Chains A and B, each alone.
Chain A
């Protein structure tokens, strides 16, 4: 069985987000790119499944949709342990477009398990996974927090309100994974980074697909107001500030 892990190339979580002057696009100057944290967990679980010799997993492939600048992130996925990587040579524009590209890649190989993170930490669209399964006409399971193989059978755990459910799903399917799928994200070892240099990274042209949405404007959140400290026993001052400055009383 082969596993495909869909990787989103996202800005590091400490990035100071800036937008272009027309406020219509993200300004990616000087940004450090990382693997989307949920995708990283999906990849970690895929590697664990492959390394457990009792599982019939033969190969883990990673795929991303993006320009050549996304390749270091794919290399990192290879360094973590993926066997090969595919980059769909296109600038990702919206969730449907990306899902169509990923579905095309997933359909072209004999993948039994297709994993996506539940959301990406940049645009938080949370829709690609479900769309892939729709396009391919295969089942999908959302918010997967546990995934194991019992022979060829895929057993999935999901956290539900007040408990947990376990279900079985026939391969091929799309698993949209949640935190908990792996304990901690695996990081690349030196040895892995060296091996990654020799692993295949295939670039494929984009499939024909529409983008159905486009960005009109981005806006930064209002900066937080500065904090005012009031002496612990000065209740009068506190009431005064709440009444006259914050105007909440």
Chain B
């Protein structure tokens, strides 16, 4: 009875302390912005089973992944035993779940084996942290306290496992001495029991380990919420609450949609100022993220669930090439800033200011403008944290509240606004690329003739104006003509898709471009769109639906693959036969939209395909995404495109194949930088197909 009372008191104290902590966090959450609604519970459950319970993403690094998965699965099994201990402690029962019989034995045996496995894994983790200098455990964000926190949590887990094994070992001895029948199976502890004999003290040591184990659980539970190991509680829910959109899709800002509609309506745009309070009430809250109360609840949840493993930073092209950006730091900064400002917000309300902000005091503009929006970090995160949404949110604030983008980006905003392309070329010149090269039907001509083409070909600004990429537009339209495909282009009616404006933070300009383009596309009743540009592909496919543009969008590599599988296009290498080709995955085709196979199917029909070290979802960005194409790279040790070109050169390929205008520019520059442009060529897949067909 005494034991029960003591246990109850300890349990209540634990729960009280825990409740206090959770209440604080709930208060902080109240000061975050609304994010996406949590729907599609079935799909979420599936993702949770796969990514969290199945640990699929942690296996992207197989060795450490296996160790982590064993620890995780072990925890799940041991958790059953811990629940039993709490029931036993409260009600004075002994091994209350033993009525489960064989299954109970199975659980106990598994828990006993897992305890040893976890202990060993933890020793490996500790050894790695203390003695090996693993690069991803360092970085400007990894302060002494971060390392200490990790080691304290690991030590606690080790003690938990040792006490569990001790409890089992002495339980065996004590029960055997008392002549009781053993309940449950304990393979590891049986072995230990044959080595250690506590004699008369076996029951004492059993009790001691029992209390030590449950006490450690209580301590651990209350330590976690203040540690990066809050992860233990939050990672499974965090995966359940994952963002369900494709990685490449940027969420729409509805407050901007409202404003842009007003701007684009000539009757309302410059209407006389509205009077007084009514007008004031209409001014939307801050655009984008300046401080921690501007992040969504999910961004904050992500930051609490993050265990600072650094896999995101280890794959970040900016970080790899020595730039200041570290996606892990961005997430950690959100948590740290809320820890600093949250109490003031809870106490004084949302007007509270401590004259500091997440932007500039924690995260510098240099970090934000180093991001290529390649989504490698989000792809890599084992618990589906979405780092780019925070980075983009802060860019949005800089651009839309302060117009503080780097000058080169401001220039492309002006160009897109004035002439519909990031470069200074007249809208009227959008068809010059065809002159004397290829016959390309215009949508307006087709309409005049009463014809409706099956496909619209979205040429894109690069396809119309970039000297190198114009050749790709020519090659692909030659292939289309050769296949007799029914298609047309918008010609001078096409305007920038807005992808680059959006990713550089100018949501207003993106929406203006999108609305204009959608009006034209819908006017022609376009149903199916082909494009060579993965950025336009992603934007038209995933982002235009939010503004009323619903189309079936096909990347040209997918189109070519389909033509092959339907038997309309048969390829043999022709002059390319025997050439070694390596494919550089464009981020917005691959990671953003999961298309890795189509380009490879086409290439395999043309030549010998060789893979780079980092390929498919692991592929390194070319360095041009997220507006980087148009600006100087931030300070670093190396340019991303050089790193990627070196990797391509390592394959010994004769041809680097790309499928994106930005990648094309970057890889071509990389070959020039490496003085390899004579020996190795860089072609778009469409050009390779045209070459093999001798078009």
Binding site for B on A (CB under 8 A): 12-16, 32, 34, 71-72, 75, 183-194, 197-199, 201
Contact = CB atoms under 8 A, between A and B. Distances in A.
Nearest to B284: A194
Nearest to A81: B403
Given A12-B419, A184-B410, A189 B400 contact: yes
Given A12-B418, A187-B410, A193 B270 contact: no
B259 interface: yes
B563 interface: no
Given A189-B403, A190-B287, A197 B271 contact: yes
Given A32-B418, A71-B270, A75-B270, A189 B426 contact: no
20 contacts: A14-B426, A15-B426, A16-B428, A16-B429, A32-B419, A185-B410, A186-B403, A187-B403, A188-B403, A189-B401, A190-B401, A190-B508, A191-B401, A193-B259, A193-B263, A193-B508, A194-B259, A194-B283, A197-B269, A197-B271
Interface in B298-347: none
Given A13-B424, A32-B418, A198 B273 contact: yes
A187 B400 contact: no
Contacts of B407: 183-184
A183 B406 CA distance: 11
Given A13-B424, A14-B418, A32-B419, A190 B400 contact: yes
Contacts, number: 66
A190 B413 CA distance: 12
A140 to B, nearest CB: 29
Main secondary structure of the interface of B (DSSP, over half): helix
Contacts of A71: 270
B402 interface: yes
B218 interface: no
A177 B407 CA distance: 20
A71 to B, nearest CB: 7
B207 interface: no
Contacts of A16: 426, 428-429
Contacts of A199: 273
A190 B415 CA distance: 16
Given A32-B418, A190-B287, A197-B271, A14 B402 contact: no
Contact of B419 (A14, A75, A201): A14
A211 to B, nearest CB: 29
Q: Top 4 nearest A-B pairs by Cβ distance? A: A190-B400, A184-B407, A189-B403, A198-B273
Contacts of B401: 189-191
Nearest to B268: A197
A189 B410 CA distance: 10
B287 A14 contact: no
Interface centre among A12, A71, A190, A193, by most chain B C-beta atoms within 10 angstroms, is: A190
Contact of B413 (A32, A187, A201): A187
B211 interface: no
Interface string B410-434: 1101110011000011111100000
B399 interface: yes
B621 to A, nearest CB: 27
B47 interface: no
Nearest to A35: B414
